[in-house]
Structure formats: C-alpha cells, structure tokens
C-alpha cells in the first residue's frame, strides 16, 4: 500500500496526525505553554487513577482516540484527557451518570 497510494489516501485514524499533508504548510508551535489550574487538576486526577490502578495511560490514550473527530479537534489537550477519563470511569462503573450529574449540579 505504501508504494501505490499517496500518503493522504491511507486509512489513518483521525487522531493519527503525524505526516498528514494538511499540516505540512503550518508552522510548528514550539512555544512553552502555561498550564492552567484546570490542566493541573486533570493531570492530578489521572495520576491518582494510575496510582490506584483504576485507569492506565494506555486506557487514557484509547479513550482520547475514541473521541469523535469534530469534538477531538474542538477540545483542548487536557479537555480530551478529561473526556477520556470520564468516559472510562463511566464505562467501568467507577462513576454513574447520576453521580456525575449531581456533582456538576445539573
């Protein structure tokens, strides 16, 4: 397949962005980014879930990759993490939707 097809016709998953031709003309942002309180909170939650062996980094990545394409590109880096964490905890039954709604005050 690598010889017959141009790269952008390969069936890559939408999160598999390396080498995608549409990004080749865009400058790479190499500036350091300040982490928000939200970012740090999400990171801390993931570390706790890892330490307690409730959710691994591999499960986090899989959950990020499962975010539908339009949401994936709309969300920030740590918003994707939180989406993955939430989806995973709901699926595993660590949280229920009712508990989540109650915690959010909805």
Instruction: Kindly state whether residue 16 participates in binding other proteins, applying the rule CB under 8 A.
Output: yes
Q: What is the DSSP string of 11-63?
A: ---TT--TT-GGGTTSPP--S--PPPHHHHHHHHHHHHHHHTTSS-HHHHHHH
- Rule CB under 8 A: say whether 7 interacts with other proteins: yes
Distance CA 86, CA 60 (A): 10
Residue from the set 62, 73, 74, 101 that interacts with other proteins by CB under 8 A = 62
Tell me, what DSSP letter sits at residue 7?
G
CA 70 to mean position of chain CA atoms: 13
**Which residue from 39, 45, 50, 66 is in contact with other proteins, where contact means CB under 8 A?**
66
Q: Using the rule CB under 8 A, which residue among 9, 11, 93, 97 binds other proteins?
A: 11
Q: Is 3 in the site for other proteins (CB under 8 A)?
A: yes
- Least separation in angstroms between residue 71's CB and other proteins is 17
Q: Candidates 52, 58, 93, 103: give the one binding other proteins (CB under 8 A).
A: 58
For residue 31, the number of C-alpha atoms closer than 13 Å in the C-beta half-sphere is 5
Binding-site ranges for other proteins (CB under 8 A)? 1-3, 7, 10-13, 16, 18-19, 24, 56, 58-59, 61-62, 65-66, 92
């Amino acid at each position: 397949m690598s010889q017959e097809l141009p790269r952008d016709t390969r069936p890559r998953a939408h999160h598999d962005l390396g080498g995608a031709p549409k990004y080749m003309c865009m400058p790479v942002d190499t500036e350091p980014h300040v982490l928000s309180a939200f970012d740090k909170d999400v990171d801390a939650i993931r570390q706790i879930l890892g330490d307690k062996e409730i959710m691994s980094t591999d499960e986090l990545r899989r959950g990020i990759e499962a975010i539908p394409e339009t949401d994936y590109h709309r969300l920030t880096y740590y918003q994707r993490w939180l989406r993955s964490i939430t989806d995973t905890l709901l699926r595993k039954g660590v949280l229920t939707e009712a508990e989540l709604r109650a915690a959010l005050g909805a």
